[in-house]
Amino acid sequence: MKIKIEMKANAMMKSKKKTNARKTIISVGGLLVALIIPMLACSEKPPKNIILMISDGCGYNHFDAASLFEKGQPGTQVYESFPVQLAVCTASLSTPGYDAEKIWSDFDAVREKPTDSAASATAFATGHHTLNGRLAVDADGNPLLTILEHAETLNKSTGLVTTVPFCHATPAGFASHVDARSDYGQIAQQMLQTGAVDVLMGAGHPDYGSAGEKLQQPNPVHFGDAVLWEAVKAGQAGGDSDGDGAADAWTMIDSLADWQSLAEGPTPKRLFGLAPVATTLQQDRPGDTLVPPFGVELIKNVPSLRHMTRVALNVLDNNPNGFFMLIEGGAVDWASHSNQMGRLIEEQIDFNRAVEAVVAWIDSTSSWSETLLIITADHETGYLTGPGSGRATETGIEAKWNSLQNNGASVMPGHEWHSNSHTNSLVPLFAKGRGSETLRRKLVGEDPVRGPYVTNAGVGQALFELWKSKPAAD
């Protein structure tokens, strides 16, 4: 995939002379880094655990929106002090790629043929780019090894946690291989019956609606049909997850009390946590979606992403070989599609609390010398900006992007939405722990506003390399 970037003199850059000198320094420095870091990586001990946290649909302004509402200022989250901070290009094989010059001169450019969650999840999971809508398969439909599957070959445990249906694109990209992300039946079959995931948590409960209400008739849409759903409930689904020839059935939980009881102490071998809601933990609940965050009462008896994360860690850290875990704040994307600033902030705050739970676990139970934590997004949704952004003249020659308006803590920031879909904007990445510097080896360019950036596939490639494996050429 070609990623265009030309450092052109404009209001956001230095003079041409200084830029050329800087390029020379970067080139020389880049050469030294390219020579030195691989040698260090070869001799360094790999991380025992890798935790990848994705806030789905979350761009730079989405991250700031939650901090402005919660703290009254940006840059206040625990991950915003992490030593590795980069931008991520989210382009897929279905997009035009990333052209920084065009992006920052044409306000509409990022809306052209954006990526989707399936293609981006595949890139993170496999180190390969693919077409929109595909999960862990290449452009020809051939299966691609995922980092989760690779972790299993290393006798590590694995987990997938999300705030949206368990079989949605982001978690599915790590544990299924299908041509269409909408094929929930096939995805669920692979995740629950033939895969080897140890912990799987999310929404999509057949017995409940979006408000957490009990349905008169089950709706097993996310299981494909009632057969798989009944097998899961009966403890007869799971297959042989560890290769010992014996079936490893799922233990299923579906109430807040279950999550609270499993946050500490003994845990089952395999855990399927199905929140008692149909779509999202909280974002899709009834009520006025335009009110400020938490203006509508939250659904009771539903775990938060923090609850899920704590339980998943308690299960996975039983393995002395370590684990891989994906944690997704999936409904940030849902709120942004609907331009719901209040619910976006709710979802991002929930994601931030889950990050804090992971950091607390690393500090108390693991260590930064054995665990790698990456915080990022799969793409931006909603084209969120501050007020007054857009085309500055009738001819559209000049474009401007304003920051969110800080109205103080507990007040929604001033903002504008410019889309109800995805964009190809760069998204942030924060990393800390064993192997985090390896991500710098994957730099492909420098954006005049966001700085140095990697691709989502580059992040996936770094994960494989840290665990002593390299995906085939993209």
Instruction: Give the per-residue pLDDT at 241.
Output: 83
Closest residue by Cα to residue 105 from 31, 6, 181, 175: 6
Structure tokens at 83: 């030593």
Contact between 103 and 380 under an 8 Å Cβ cutoff? The reply is: no
| Structural domain boundaries in the chain | 16-466
Can you give the pLDDT at residue 23?
35
Between CA 230 and CA 234, with CA 233 as vertex, the angle to 5 degrees is 85
Q: What share of the chain is helix, strand, coil (3-state, %, to 5)?
A: 35, 15, 50
Rounded to whole angstroms, the Cα distance separating 358 from 381 reads 25
Rounded to 5 degrees, what are φ and ψ at 440?
-65, -25
| pLDDT at residue 24, as a whole number | 34
Q: Which helix (H) or strand (E) holds 51?
A: strand 49-55
pLDDT of residue 382: 98
Largest CA distance in the chain: 71
How far is the C-alpha of 341 from the C-alpha of 335, rounded, in Å?
A: 7
Kindly state the tokens that stand for 58. Answer: 């979350």
CB 324 within 8 A of CB 171: no
Contact (Cβ atoms closer than 8 angstroms) between residue 70 and residue 77 = no
H-type alpha helices, 160-255: 169-175, 184-189, 226-233
pLDDT at 44: 74
- CB-based contact 431:438 (threshold 8 Å): no
Write the burial class of residue 217 (CB in 10 Å: 0-12 exposed, 13-18 middle, 19+ buried). exposed
| pLDDT digits (tens), the chain, 474 positions | 334 333 232 333 333 333 333 333 333 344 434 444 444 444 579 999 999 999 999 999 999 999 999 999 999 999 999 999 999 999 999 999 999 999 999 999 999 999 999 999 999 999 999 999 999 999 999 999 999 999 999 999 999 999 999 999 999 999 999 999 999 999 999 999 999 999 999 999 999 999 999 999 999 999 999 999 999 999 999 988 888 888 899 999 999 999 999 999 999 999 999 999 999 999 999 999 999 999 999 999 999 999 999 999 999 999 999 999 999 999 999 999 999 999 999 999 999 999 999 999 999 999 999 999 999 999 999 999 999 999 766 665 678 999 999 999 999 999 999 999 999 999 999 999 999 999 999 999 999 999 999 999 999 999 999 999 766 565
Q: Residue 353 is inside which H or E element, if any? A: helix 341-364
The β-bridge relationship of strands 390-391 and 399-400 is: antiparallel
Q: Kindly state which CATH superfamily the domain 16-466 is placed in.
A: Alkaline Phosphatase, subunit A (3.40.720.10)
Residue whose pair of structure tokens reads 């094989």 in the numeric block: 93
How far apart, in whole angstroms, are the C-alpha atoms of residue 129 and residue 1? 8
Q: For the whole prediction, is pTM greater than 0.85?
A: yes
What was the pLDDT predicted at 418? 97
> What pLDDT shows up at residue 430?
98
CA dist 98 → 22, 101, 128, 129, 288 (Å)? 22, 9, 16, 14, 37
Can you point out the beta strands (E) in 355-400? Answer: 371-376, 380-381, 384-385, 390-391, 399-400
Q: What is the DSSP letter of 404?
A: P
| Residue at 28: amino acid letter | V
C-alpha 188/C-alpha 109 separation (Å) is 36
Residues with Cβ within 8 Å of 65's Cβ and at least 6 positions away in sequence, in order, are 341, 344, 345, 348, 384, 404, 413, 415
